[in-house]
Structures are given as structure tokens and as C-alpha cells.
């Protein structure tokens, strides 16, 4: 499905390619940082109730004066969450279909998401691949 933006010949080629790729949900595997970040954002959009549960649990832990562990939040949601999680389908560069679901590799993204919403929260942040963008 083509949008009118593709007919705008004043846009840089890179912008058109990026838009086509995003709309087609084609991602290289293994996932690059930007792709993982993009898929995480889509996953959050598809799973707002799960994200609300994650946030609520983090706030409860923080209110008790404990450090919040993103890995714990992911595991708790995976095994004790109240909602069926929805994965984000995507295709790799070879045409193979995959479904992105949040996993332990995304704990840095969860931590940073929580800190954006609750700047004073005691969430441990460690250096991760998400601290540096890929070229």
C-alpha cells in the first residue's frame, strides 16, 4: 500500500527507504539496536495493559524503598501478568517471518522507559547496547 509520501520526489532516498521498511516491517536478524527499539515501541503500543502492570509493579517496589529490577518485571509479566501479550510480527531480510516479544534483552529499554515516566525511581541502569546508536 503506497502512501502519497512516496510520490514526494523532494524527500531524500534514505527517508523513503526507511518509511518503506518500517511499513513493511522488514528487519535484519540479528536485530540491530534501532530495530529492537522500534519493535519495543510497537510492542508497548500493542500491550498497554501489560505496560501499565509493569509500571504499577515498579512503583510498588519503589514505594517500599527497594531497587526496581527490569528483569524481574519482565519475568513477573511473563508468568503472572493478567493480560495475554501480543507479539509484533516482522520479516527478516531473507523473508522469514518472526514475532517480536519482549525479552530479557529489553530490560534496558524497560528501565529507561520507567525512568522517563518516573525520574526519581530507583531503577538500576547499566551500560547497554541501547546507550549507543549503531552507525
Q: What is the pLDDT of residues 87-105, one digit of tens each?
A: 999 888 888 899 999 888 8
Q: Give burial (CB, 10 Å; 0-12/13-18/19+) of 102.
A: buried
Higher pLDDT, 8 or 97: 97
* Rounded Cα–Cα distance for residues 117 and 135 (Å): 28
Q: Contact at 8 Å (CB) between 88 and 32?
A: no
**pTM of this structure:** 0.74
Q: Is the pLDDT of residue 130 over 60?
A: yes
Q: What is the mean pLDDT of residues 18-45?
A: 79
Contacts of 50 (CB under 8 A, 6+ apart): 77, 81, 83, 85
pLDDT band at residue 41 under the 50/70/90 scheme: very high
Domain range enclosing 86? 4-131
Higher pLDDT, 16 or 89: 89
Domain tally, the chain: 1
CA distances from 65 to 61, 68, 116 (A): 7, 9, 19
Amino acid at each position: 500500500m503506497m502512501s502519497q509520501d512516496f510520490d514526494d520526489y523532494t524527500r531524500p532516498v534514505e527517508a523513503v527507504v526507511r518509511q518503506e521498511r518500517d511499513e513493511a516491517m522488514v528487519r535484519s536478524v540479528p536485530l540491530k539496536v534501532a530495530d529492537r527499539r522500534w519493535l519495543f515501541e510497537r510492542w508497548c503500543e500493542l500491550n498497554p495493559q501489560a505496560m501499565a502492570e509493569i509500571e504499577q509493579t515498579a512503583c510498588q517496589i519503589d514505594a517500599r524503598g527497594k531497587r526496581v529490577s527490569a528483569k524481574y518485571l519482565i519475568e513477573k509479566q511473563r508468568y503472572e501478568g493478567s493480560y495475554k501479550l501480543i507479539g509484533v510480527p516482522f520479516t527478516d531480510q531473507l523473508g522469514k517471518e518472526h514475532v517480536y516479544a519482549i525479552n530479557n534483552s529489553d530490560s534496558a529499554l524497560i528501565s529507561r522507559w520507567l525512568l522517563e515516566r518516573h525520574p526519581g525511581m530507583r531503577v538500576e541502569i547499566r551500560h547497554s547496547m541501547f546507550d549507543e546508536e549503531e552507525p
